[in-house]
Structure 1
Amino acid sequence: MSTISYMDEPRESRIEPPVSFEPTYQLGPEKHFPVTAVKSILKDVVVRHLDNRQYEPEFCKETTKVISEDVKSRVKLMKLGRYKIICLVHIGQLKDQGLHVTSRCLWDADSDNSSSFEYRNSTLFAVATVFWHLP
């Protein structure tokens, strides 16, 4: 009679524990938010999409999405680190009206920042803002 012991399993079939790494404890950013560089990106993208255009509701609806994604992808190419990039774009018709745009979030004054650009032509206005926020 033969006795089988599970303690004698070959080494290859044993499950190895996962490798764990020590935390970095990095709380702040590696780089600071480049406000002027992001503002130039906002200006370039907004002017490229809206220069010499007339206000049309459907065009503006789609263009806000396109501008937002374009700005976000160009800011991500700057490799700014582990921060969340939030891009808001508002486009509206100029008809002697007023508009107040506000936003609210938890804000760390030492590391969070934002950049904004405003554009106007004869029939429309646009406000594009990028927030750089620690998640």
Structure 2
Amino acid sequence: MKRRHSMFEKDSYSHALKERMEDVSYEVVYTQPGYTDEDSKRKIKYANTYRMKPRNKFCAQTVTTRVEQILMDKIQNIAYDKDICKSLSISVTNDILGEVKEMPFDHYKYVVQVIFIEKKEQGTRVCSRSLWDTEWDNCATARCETDKLIAIGIVFAIYYE
């Protein structure tokens, strides 16, 4: 006969859970439309580390260089058109976000903004305001010009614990 563990023993809670879960079977009754088991495998949830500073701090210069390359590749032979620039800004934003997420900066959330402006001999100034921790949060701005178009890409990196 198997002895049951006392609740006063050191590892009794884990043993009690194991005993209770031996005969339990799980059955999925409802899943959200479009949800697959592969979606849950791709998204990894990490436990909170309670780190107050990042191991790899966001480097604006590295990001600015990469954003400039992406912008120049995308706008080389494009004239300003409202509809084209609308769809192009979405695709360029996704490209920049994907590239920045692959960089080795840990514990950052990113906000990417891409602006296309028709070039008609006017001055251009873009500014933004935000409330953040000046020690760890940062932004990178890149500007590329052709004879017909100005493209500005901004990446905001906000540290989260």
- Relative to the length of structure 1, the TM-score reads 0.78
Kindly provide the amino acid, as one letter, of the partner of residue 26 in structure 1: R
Q: Secondary structure at the match of 2:68?
A: helix
Query: Which consecutive residues of structure 2, in runs of 5 or more, have no partner in the other structure?
Result: 1-15, 22-46
Verify: 1:68 aligned to 2:93, yes or no.
yes
- Further displaced range: 59-68 or 28-37: 28-37
Residue in 2 aligned with 1:57?
A: 82
Residue in 1 aligned with 2:20?
A: 13
- Alpha carbons 2:137, 2:158 under 8 Å: kept: yes
CA deviation vs aligned residue, 1:99-135 (integer Å, no higher than 9, x gap): 3322222221111111111111111111101111124
Distance in 2 (CA, whole Å) between partners of 1:101 and 1:43 is 16
Residue in 2 aligned with 1:126?
A: 151
Written as runs of structure 1 = structure 2, the 5 A alignment for 1:1-135 is 12-13=19-20, 24-135=49-160
Between the two proteins, what is the percent identity of the paired residues? 27
Q: Secondary structure at the match of 1:37?
A: helix
- Alpha carbons 2:119, 2:147 under 8 Å: kept: yes
Aligned residues: 119
In the TM superposition, residue 29 of structure 1 has moved relative to its aligned partner by 1.3
CA deviation vs aligned residue, 1:31-55 (integer Å, no higher than 9, x gap): 1112222112101110110012111
Query: Which consecutive residues of structure 1, in runs of 5 or more, have no partner in the other structure?
Result: 1-10, 15-21
- Runs of 4+ in structure 1 deviating by more than 6 angstroms, as ranges, are none
- Relative to the length of structure 2, the TM-score reads 0.67
